[in-house]
Amino acid sequence: MNINKKLGNKLRVLREVHNYTQEYVSNVLDVAPSTYSLMEKGQAQITIERIEKLASLYKMDISDLLKLSDQTIIQQHFTYSNGISESVTINNNGLAEDERKMYKEVIERLERQNNKLEEQNERLLHLLEKLSETK
């Protein structure tokens, strides 16, 4: 895999972990969404100015943004009580300690949200059962 493709994959993962859309990141970079999409696919060159903006957006050093590797270090799967499931996979062994901490915090936050939603669903189901008993 070439460097542009590796960097593009890392940009996609960072964007998804931060819950940003391609449109939002393209606005930050002052490029068309289609151009940013090509960057994530590794099909467009990324200027140093854009790398600086991306590093600022993700609150990381440029050197950390440019560290690349193919090894998966974090994989988390979530299944919600409504049957919907999703996975988070971070494919980069060259992560800085701050990035690892950030990813771990994001995963922990998602797990807490998932638990709250499951508890909320349980309460709503219980209320529905009570309502149907009173009819």
Residues 54 and 78 grouped into a single domain: no
The stretches of the chain forming alpha helices (DSSP H) are 3-17, 22-29, 33-40, 48-57, 62-66, 97-134
* Distance in angstroms between the alpha carbons of the first and the last residue of the chain: 63
Residues 127 and 93 grouped into a single domain: yes
The two tokens of residue 113 are: 């949200």
Residues 97 and 130 grouped into a single domain: yes
Residues 54 and 79 grouped into a single domain: no
Sequence-separated contacts (24+) of 62-69 with Cβ below 8 Å? 64/95, 64/96, 64/98, 64/99, 65/10, 66/7, 67/92, 67/94, 67/95, 67/96, 68/3, 68/6, 68/7, 68/10, 68/92, 68/94, 69/6, 69/93, 69/94
Q: What is the pLDDT of residues 67-112, one digit of tens each?
A: 765 444 444 555 666 666 665 555 555 556 666 777 777 778 888 8
In this predicted structure, what is the pLDDT of residue 18?
87
| Domain finish residue from 66, 82, 114 | 66
**In this model, does residue 15 exceed pLDDT 70?**
yes
| Domain finish residue from 49, 66, 83 | 66
Q: What is the pLDDT of residues 105-135, one digit of tens each?
A: 777 888 888 889 999 999 999 999 988 888 7
Number of domains within the chain: 2
Using DSSP, state whether 121 is helix, strand or coil.
Answer: helix
CATH of the domain at 37: 1.10.260.40
Burial class (CB in 10 A: 0-12, 13-18, 19+), 49: exposed
Contact between 66 and 51 (Cβ < 8 Å) = yes
Contact between 91 and 58 (Cβ < 8 Å) = no
Q: Which of 10-19, 39-48, 58-67, 114-123 has the lowest mean pLDDT?
A: 58-67
Q: Give residue 11's domain range.
A: 3-66
